[in-house]
Chain A
Amino acid sequence: MKSMTDIPRPATSPRSAAALSADPRNVQLTEDGKLRHFLTIGGLPKEVLEEILDTADSFVNMGEKSVKKVPLLRGKTVVNLFFENSTRTRSTFELAAQRLSADVLSLDINTSATTKGETLMDTLQNLEAMGSDMFIVRHADSGAQHFIASQVTPNVAIINAGDGRHAHPTQAMLDMYTIRKHKGDFSKLKVAIVGDILHSRVARSQVQALNTLGAEEVRLIGPKTLLPDTLAGLGAKLYTRMEDGLKDVDVVIMLRLQKERMDGALLPSEGEFYRLYGLTEEKLNYARPDAIVMHPGPINRGVEIESAVADGPQSLILNQVSYGIAIRMAVMSMSVSGQTQQKVQNQENAASQGNDGETSA
């Protein structure tokens, strides 16, 4: 059985792309530092994030052509595996795959069905045996996609569409794209993220991306029940008042509030949350006059955001959706490219080991 622990633990100093890929904790990169799985923003160097944004740029421009397809993934099979329901995210991934000319298969797997029958491992290995080149996975367990990429099907490109409370990297990248396109240089920007940070995988990925891309300041705003101190270590300043947290920010990102939060004694009511943290026109005035407003969607009008703001001139919520397809096309084509490069590299390694008279690994 392969052991994940017989690779020496790397030093904690800044790491080169090559060192990062040798680290078993970062399975995302090839030996040359190219993306071959897209699991989390954490561990990816700035260059890779910028490559994703630049690649997405080409795909956004593509929308102006009358032909909306390119043959990059022609002949490749992309499987959407959503263990958690989501029509929106799944359909944007389907669309992205189709625009890359891939064959797309979408499987909605009820988690309870899996626990009754097939293990996660068996489900995926069966799909791999059917000739899949990419799995787009959404799962309720944090680290599920890491598990899949490192232990189950490392030769199938894994794209994380959200895992538990850990990461939602494609959402974070489309948010970064939106910010870069409308605001430019990250190093001059103050960004505030508001709402249920505790349960938000989107927020975690956004904070990591903003810091890697060099944002001037990242702020998290919410009540203490939804904003534990342990999150400061992610690289953000914590605020409990909108008045303080939104002061002079350039970007306001509102997060969706789920109704279950009232049951866990995390919030008393939607009403109180809206009074304190809902983004109204009045609260938006704390930010800079040219601040942009974003939301990963779907929005809860009157709970986290006022309609006038959501539909207003500073809102980029609909733009985010359109950029989402381009970002997903970018990570999908980059990771298939990385997987192919890795396979070529593995073959070359095996060949040279064979030539030395040793048996290959």
Chain B
Amino acid sequence: MTTHTNLPDVNTLIEQLAQQLKQHIQNQNLNNIALVGIHSGGVWVAERLHSLLEQEEALGTLDISFYRDDYTRVGLNPSVKPSSLPFATEGRHIVLVDDVIMSGRTIRAAMNELFDYGRPDSVTLVTLLSLPGRELPIQPDITGQTLTLAPGERVKLTGPDNLSLELQTAQ
């Protein structure tokens, strides 16, 4: 566990993720994986992984706004970017990538959306960071670092160039 003052270096973390992922793919015998990133932070991380793993097939991207379970309370976010999956998910081994996992609801929404496209053979979850606060029984298969934040603190990945982590305190 790392204290809140020490935010890790993103590039190092991603290289670490790439290594762990290659190992995982080998161990689990995952043939011909498809990389899918969740907008926006997850896509940036997935793009890095995509080049580090030398993937040939195009990267898939998901916008989960329409699958959120809380839209009636927080309202619809009008600036939705379209999801783009340039491959069929049916029968594939998907590697789902996001920047941060906290409650787990984003991942649930992403999986719902993936399954609407077709039934994958497996889904492997990769996240850059893991924060405590699960509200659902969803855990990353591979995560760069587990962080604990002080109350009122949030961490944000900035990009798309020069990815870095930023700490934000609520006023």
A residues sitting closer than 8 Å to B (CB atoms) are 34, 51, 54-55, 57-58, 61-62, 64-67, 69-72, 333-334, 336-337, 340-341, 344
In whole angstroms, how far apart are the Cα atoms of A54 and B116 in the complex? 24
Q: Please give, as numbers and ranges, the residues of chain B lying within 8 Å of A71 by CB-CB distance.
A: 66-67, 112
B79 CB-CB contact with A under 8 Å: yes
When A67-B116, A70-B67, A71-B112 are in contact, do A333 and B76 touch as well, CB less than 8 Å?
yes
Q: What are the 8 tightest A-B residue pairs by CB atom distance, in nearest-first order?
A: A58-B80, A54-B78, A340-B72, A70-B66, A61-B82, A55-B78, A67-B116, A337-B72
When A69-B116, A341-B72, A344-B73 are in contact, do A64 and B82 touch as well, CB less than 8 Å?
yes
In this complex, how many residues of chain B approach chain A with their Cβ under 8 Å: the count is 17
**CB-based contact A34/B75 at 8 Å:** yes
* In the complex, residue of chain B having the shortest beta-carbon distance to the beta carbon of A58: B80
- B65, B66, B72: the one contacting A336 at CB < 8 Å is B72
Q: Please give, as numbers and ranges, the residues of chain A lying within 8 Å of B82 by CB-CB distance.
A: 58, 61-62, 64-65
A-B contact pairs, 25 of them (CB 8 A): A51-B78, A54-B78, A55-B76, A55-B78, A55-B80, A57-B78, A57-B80, A58-B65, A58-B66, A58-B79, A61-B82, A62-B82, A65-B83, A65-B85, A67-B117, A69-B116, A71-B67, A71-B112, A72-B66, A72-B76, A334-B75, A334-B76, A337-B75, A337-B76, A341-B73
Q: Please give, as numbers and ranges, the residues of chain A lying within 8 Å of B73 by CB-CB distance.
A: 340-341, 344
CB distance from A60 to the nearest CB of B (A): 9
Q: Please give, as numbers and ranges, the residues of chain B lying within 8 Å of A62 by CB-CB distance.
A: 66, 82
In whole angstroms, how far apart are the Cα atoms of A43 and B166 in the complex? 42
CB distance from B115 to the nearest CB of A (A): 10
Q: Please give, as numbers and ranges, the residues of chain B lying within 8 Å of A61 by CB-CB distance.
A: 80, 82
* In the complex, residue of chain A having the shortest beta-carbon distance to the beta carbon of B88: A66
* In the complex, residue of chain B having the shortest beta-carbon distance to the beta carbon of A53: B78
Q: Please give, as numbers and ranges, the residues of chain B lying within 8 Å of A70 by CB-CB distance.
A: 66-67
